[in-house]
Each structure stands twice: as C-alpha cells, then as structure tokens.
Amino acid sequence: MSEQASAGSVLRIDGVHKWFGDTPVLRGIDIEVARHEVVALIGASGSGKSTLLKTINLLEGVDDGQIHLGETDITDPRIDADSIRGRIGVVFQHYNLFPHMNVLNNVTLASRQVFGVKRAAAEKRGLELLERIGLADKAREYPDRLSGGQQQRVAIARAIATDPELLLLDEITSALDPQLVGEVLDLVHELKAGGSTILMATHEMSFARRVADRVVFLKGGKIIESGTPQQIFDAPREEETREFLSRLR
C-alpha cells in the first residue's frame, strides 16, 4: 500500500484478529476504505461481518491488529470511544429508533446532545434531511406510525445528521418486507452519489453489485477474495467464492 493511499483513506484495518473465548472470529483482516468509496462485505451468516463492523464502532475490542479512522488509531486503549463514535454513523439490521421520540427528534438528538448544536439549527438541518429522504411530512410522527422501510430511512437520516466521516451499515434491509427493501437501497445509492464513504455488510448481492466499488468476501473470519463487483460476481477467482455465490442462486 502506498503512503499516499494510506494517508487518504478514511478507514484502514490492519491484521485484525478477534476471538470469542477459544473461537477465532476474525483471523487477520486487512481492509482499506478510501474517501467516497463504498465497500460491501459479503459472506455466510457467522462469517464475522457484524463483529468486524462492531470493532470499528468500538462495540467490540480487537485482540490483535490496528484500526485507523483517518489518522487516529482507534485500537489505542487510551482512545475516547465517544469521540470516535461521533465520527461514525451506524445503521443496524433492526431499526433502532427511539420509540418515545418523534422522527425529527430522533434525527436531531445526536447533533444536539453530542455536538451541542442549538435546537433551531439542528431542526433546520433535520428537516432538510427528512425532505431529502421524502419524509418531511412525518417529522412529528412517532416511529411506530411509520412502515419498516420508512423507519430504516429515518435511521439512515439520523446516522448522517452529524456528517460522519464513515457510515457503517449492517444488513439494513434484512428485517424488511421485500417490497420495502427498494426504497432503503435507493437511499443508500443516493448517499453514494452524494460522496458518502460506506462500509456495509449485505446479503443483497444485486445491491452490492449496483452500489459497491469493491466487494470483500469473508469466510470463517478471513478474507477469501476481494475485488470489483464485476470481478467477484462474474469471475470469482477462488473456489470458496464460487461455492458461496452458487448457493445463493
């Protein structure tokens, strides 16, 4: 990896290992994500995708290796976890909106509480974001009045409200009814067009093909192969990749 490439990357994962007890779950992961790049993690259930995303958000520690967010070594034990999490937007599989807060307050909470943005300014920005995702008319509704797809779009708006350097998306459509998946994926596509830097675990191969610049295939906590969507999906080099993809068809 060249000096310049590494200086410009938003995320750099070097030799990350993690065990749960005696079980190795991440076994020497190296991934670099450049600014404005979208990288998709694919792999069977249990291959370590969520654990990897959690180590980046400091919900799990690593047992070996380093993770840099920009210039910051976030695996340094002296690091302030909240300051790191403030630089990363996260959306999980299950939309985790606060049920007792309306949509606008969900979207503006972090900017107000973590970054001390004044309510009026945060709400102006929140309404702009809701406008952008087509849900401005839902600003004063509570989450349970929205469809799953709408809730997940609000969760995305909340994750980007603080202009994070990096967005982590973990299977964000897997809990949705099939007819609601498209609207969420369209929004991720728009984020990419807007220049967001994204690392996402997904089981939607057609979506990975459409939106990702690079696809990383994980098996048993190891990267088996990575490349452009075209290379991975149309001309996989490794037998294990071929086997994984053929089982999906």
User: Any contact of residue 59 with ligand ADP (CB under 6 A)?
Assistant: no
CB of 50 to Mg ion, least distance (A): 3
**Of 45-53, 65-73, 154-162, 187-195: span binding Mg ion (CB under 5 A):** 45-53
Contact 64, 14 (CB under 8 A): no
- φ, ψ of residue 82 in degrees (nearest 5): -65, -35
Residue 47 contacts ligand ADP per CB under 6 A: yes
DSSP-based three-state secondary structure for 7 = helix
User: Taking contact as CB under 5 A, which single stretch among the options 12-20, 42-50, 107-115, 182-190 is the one that binds Mg ion?
Assistant: 42-50
Q: Is 50 in the site for Mg ion (CB under 5 A)?
A: yes
Could you tell me the end-to-end alpha-carbon distance of the chain, in angstroms, rounded to an integer?
35
Q: Which is nearer to ligand ADP, 66 or 174 (CB)?
A: 174
Q: Which of 9, 51, 202, 226 binds ligand ADP (CB under 6 A)?
A: 51
Q: Which is nearer to ligand ADP, 51 or 162 (CB)?
A: 51
* Sequence-distant (≥ 6) Cβ neighbours of residue 100 within 8 angstroms: 142
Nearest to residue 60, comparing CAs of 15, 11, 9, 19?
Answer: 19
Cβ atoms of residues 162 and 86 within 8 Å: yes
Dihedral of alpha carbons 225, 228, 230, 233, sign: positive
- Binding to ligand ADP by residue 246, rule CB under 6 A? no
Interface with Mg ion: number of residues (CB under 5 A): 2
Partner interacting with residue 20 (select from ligand ADP, Mg ion, none; CB below 5-8 Å by kind): ligand ADP
Q: Could you list the residues that contact Mg ion (CB under 5 A)? A: 49-50
